[in-house]
Structures are given as structure tokens and as C-alpha cells.
């Protein structure tokens, strides 16, 4: 199938977390036309039920694909991917890349064989995480903790707000305070929001930790799936799409522009 050069890459998240996937993808494919969609009306996903997410995400992505006709869609959200990825793939007629916790890389780098999975409440309880831990970390102690506050911290950071360091400290304590936590040397950032506050997490940790996430790996996957396709001759302004426009979206304008998203629309 021939793909038009201006056919965009579509990134989808509940909020701004997917920018941690968009960033490395922009570096790998600098001239790619990008549409970034944030479900601001449904944010946050991590505190919602599986049934709510399973119903909402395929329907929204269907509308986005119909409007923007992307060459490929990226669910740049661990919660949505672990719950709804297969349903989205069945519903759409374009390739779909999901985002899943980077448990395999964590198991490869952990020397103590104890690592943490820091995500949303919805992600860390998923059977998908159980399967990844059993397959790649069978010889490891895998600690898990969900933090809704850390998602809000990332959103606040991109709005330029003053950040409370206790939020990152408490999120890490949820892992350190578990049995075996004193030996933890690696943390999987299993929510796309969390790489955006990796510096805050590192500063809050009582000792050095190795943080891993999937951004670069997903960018490589997108490049592989689109190899041989044509791209625009030069970089063009990207579009940020929100399911609800409010004053918080206006406060994100600077952060969005830094990722090449200069136009804002509502779905």
C-alpha cells in the first residue's frame, strides 16, 4: 500500500505522558508529520476501571483515525495498552504500536535481581504485567507500586507549576518499603508520564537507581514499521488534539511547542 508523505504518525495518551514516546520518535524520524491526541476529558486513566478503558479507548482511536488518516497509531500509554491494545488492533485498519512496561530491559540490567515496577494503579495490577515478570524476571523479586499523584506531577511540570518533592519521594517509598525493597537497584517507569519526571525521582531517591522505560525502543519499532515509506521534505508543525479544551491546555502550550506541536484542536 502506498502511503502519502504527509500521512501522520498518531500518538494517543490520556494526557501529556505520551510526549516521552514522541520525543525519541521525533529524533529518529525528524520530518514525520505528527498528530498527538490527549484524552483530557477522560484523564486520568490509571484510576479508572478496566471496563471503562476497554470501552473508551477503541472508540476514541476510531474517531481519530477516521479524522486524521494516520499511517500508524501509537498507544503511548501503558494503562491503555495493557487493557485495550488487542481490541484497538482488531478495530483499526492501520498498524498499532502499544506501550508495555519495560520489564525485560530491567531484568537484563538489574544486578541485585530486585527491581520495581512503578506505574498507575490500573497498570500494575494487570495480568499482562504478571506474564512479563514471569517470562523475563523469573529469577527476580519484582516489586510493584501504583502512583496517581506522580501522573499529576508530570502534568504539573509541563504546565510550569512549582512541584512538591514529596510526591516523587512517596512514590519511591511505595517500592522501597516493601520486603526486598532495600536491595532494589532498578525501577521500570511503567507509565509514559513518569520519564517526564525522572529527574525528580532521581533527586528523591535515597540512593542511586537505574530507571528504564520504553521510549527509545518504541521509536525504533515505529521506524522499522515505516521503513521505505516517504516523509515530507521538511519538518512541519504538528497538531495536538484534546477531547476537552480548558485552561490547563493553554498552560501546556510551551511544552507542546517544544515537541513540535504548534497547533491545537479539539476532537
* 45: DSSP letter: S
Specify whether the CB–CB gap between 35 and 7 falls below 8 A.
no
Q: How many CB atoms lie within 10 A of CB 138?
A: 9
Domains of the chain: 9-99+216-266 (3.40.50.1860), 103-213 (3.40.50.1860)
Residue 197 grid cell: 519526571
Nearest residue to 148 via CA among 165, 163, 129, 167: 167
Question: Pick the catalytic residue: 7, 9, 53, 77?
Answer: 77
Q: Is the pLDDT of residue 171 over 80?
A: yes
Specify whether the CB–CB gap between 57 and 88 falls below 8 A.
yes
List of residues 6+ apart from 32 with CB closer than 8 A: 8, 9, 25, 26, 226, 231, 232
Task: Report pLDDT for 2.
Answer: 79
End-to-end C-alpha distance for the chain, whole angstroms: 28
Q: Is the pLDDT of residue 1 over 70?
A: no
Q: Where are the alpha helices (DSSP H) in 9-164?
A: 19-28, 50-68, 78-91, 103-109, 121-124, 127-136, 148-158
HSE-up (13 A, CA, CB side) for residue 208: 2
d(CA 217, CA 215): 6
Higher pLDDT, 1 or 94: 94
3-state class percentages of the chain: helix first, strand second, coil last, to nearest 5:
45, 15, 35
List of residues 6+ apart from 63 with CB closer than 8 A: 267
Is position 140 annotated as part of the catalytic site? no
The 10s digit of each residue's pLDDT in 207-248 is 999 999 999 999 999 999 999 999 999 988 999 999 999 888
Question: Pick the catalytic residue: 7, 34, 191, 201?
Answer: 191
Is position 191 annotated as part of the catalytic site? yes
The 10s digit of each residue's pLDDT in 20-56 is 999 999 999 999 999 999 999 999 998 899 999 999 9
Specify whether the CB–CB gap between 21 and 10 falls below 8 A.
no
The 10s digit of each residue's pLDDT in 81-106 is 999 999 999 999 999 999 989 999 99
Dmax over CA atoms of the chain, in Å, equals 54
pTM: 0.94
d(CA 258, CA 15): 16
Amino acid at each position: 500500500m502506498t502511503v502519502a508523505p504527509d500521512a501522520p504518525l498518531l500518538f494517543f495518551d490520556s494526557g501529556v505522558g505520551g510526549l516521552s514516546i514522541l520525543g525519541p520518535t521525533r529524533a529518529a524520524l525528524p520530518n514525520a508529520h505528527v498528530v498527538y491526541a490527549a484524552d483530557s476529558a477522560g484523564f486520568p486513566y490509571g484510576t479508572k476501571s478496566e471496563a471503562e478503558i476497554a470501552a473508551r479507548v477503541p472508540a476514541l482511536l476510531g474517531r481519530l483515525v477516521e479524522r486524521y488518516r494516520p499511517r500508524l497509531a501509537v498507544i503511548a500509554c501503558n494503562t491503555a495498552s495493557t487493557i485495550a491494545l488487542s481490541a484497538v488492533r482488531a478495530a483499526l485498519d492501520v498498524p498499532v504500536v502499544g506501550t508495555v512496561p519495560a520489564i525485560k530491559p530491567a531484568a537484563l540490567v538489574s544486578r541485585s535481581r530486585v527491581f520495581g515496577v512503578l506505574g498507575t494503579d490500573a497498570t500494575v495490577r494487570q495480568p499482562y504485567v504478571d506474564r512479563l515478570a514471569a517470562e523475563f524476571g523469573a529469577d527476580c523479586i519484582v516489586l510493584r507500586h501504583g502512583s496517581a499523584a506522580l501522573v499529576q506531577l508530570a502534568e504539573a511540570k509541563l504546565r510550569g507549576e512549582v512541584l512538591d518533592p514529596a510526591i516523587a519521594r512517596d512514590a519511591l517509598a511505595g517500592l522501597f518499603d516493601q520486603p526486598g525493597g532495600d536491595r532494589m537497584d532498578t525501577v521500570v517507569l511503567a507509565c509514559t508520564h513518569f520519564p517526564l519526571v525522572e529527574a525528580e525521582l532521581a533527586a528523591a531517591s535515597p540512593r542511586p537507581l537505574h530507571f528504564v522505560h520504553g521510549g527509545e525502543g518504541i521509536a525504533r519499532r515505529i521506524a522499522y514499521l515505516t521503513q521505505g515509506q516517504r516523509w515530507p521534505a521538511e519538518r512541519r508543525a504538528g497538531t495536538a488534539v484534546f477531547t476537552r479544551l480548558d485552561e490547563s491546555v493553554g498552560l501546556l502550550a510551551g511544552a507542546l511547542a517544544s515537541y513540535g506541536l504548534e497547533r491545537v484542536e479539539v476532537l
